[in-house]
Amino acid sequence: MTFDARHPEAVEAVRRALEEDIGAGDVTSQATVDADRKAHGRFVARDRLVLAGVELLPVIYELRGGVDSIELLAASGARLEPGQTVAAVQGRARTLLECERTALNFLQRLSGVATLARRYADAVAGTGCRVLDTRKTTPGLRRLEKMAAAAGGVENHRIGLFDAILIKNNHIEAAGGVRAALERAFRAGLPVEIEVRTRQQLDEALAAGATHLLLDNLTPAEAREWVRHVAGRARVELSGGISLDTVRAYAESGADSVSVGAITHSAPAVNLNFRLSLD
């Protein structure tokens, strides 16, 4: 998924964020800065990071108006060192000030996701195993966070409940078993993946024609054993408690992919700042 800052969900997220922060107006800037004062500013990386979300800056300023120019000096996915300038903007000082926190919130959060995603992707390099993100995202920001994860080098799993079938343990229980769940799912005409938690469920799924298995909460050693048992009869995804310390061991099990919720639900924000100067 490329970083599409003009996607309606992205624009709406920006609009909500600006309304949340500015409300009826930036009373501090209105009280202290002349309305016609012009200024320029730079967004600067303070950490070593993988950038994501910089393409949102033009959207932010367009929604507020009052900016004469904006130059993006790096794109989502770029690896940056401390001190590198990300973007430069020029316009009304009040506009630059009122947009500062919203812009930094998006950049710091999304770049944090991309930076952690890159660490996971680098950790499995050369294994042939793909790292996937999950639906464990901030409500209302899923598309942006998945764009950031992709910018960091991992692959997007399904976007939501609507674009692929993932049969989990509660679905199996509600459907009346592995075979019953799969038989119904196959009729939907969508990609079908099924989570299995026991060897009995694994064999039932394979016998019922499963082509994509999710193996949850195994140790790396158990994962290797289960992958050998599958013997190429289905694609295998591993999930459950996979960390940066263990992801390579899981990737070396022979699985096709590993999914990591931490990429979005636990990514720490990175440090960028905004430096304003008068024209």
Q: Which residues belong to the active site? A: 101, 136, 168, 195, 216
Using DSSP's 3-state secondary structure scheme, residue 46 falls into coil
Gap between the Cα atoms of 143 and 149, Å rounded: 10
Gap between the Cα atoms of 18 and 203, Å rounded: 52
Gap between the Cα atoms of 26 and 123, Å rounded: 44
Gap between the Cα atoms of 85 and 173, Å rounded: 53
Residues 6+ away with beta carbon under 8 Å from 20: none
Q: Starting from the edge strand earliest in sequence, which strands make up the sheet with 257-259, in order? A: 130-132, 257-259, 235-239, 212-216, 192-196, 165-167
User: What is each CA distance from 15 to 12, 122, 224, in whole angstroms?
Assistant: 5, 34, 47
- Name the residue with tokens 């000082």: 93
Residue type, 141: L
Cα 193 to the chain's mean position, in Å?
21
Gap between the Cα atoms of 156 and 149, Å rounded: 7
Tell me the residue length of the chain: 279
The two three-digit tokens of residue 27, written as one number: 């009373």
- Name the residue with tokens 């799912």: 185
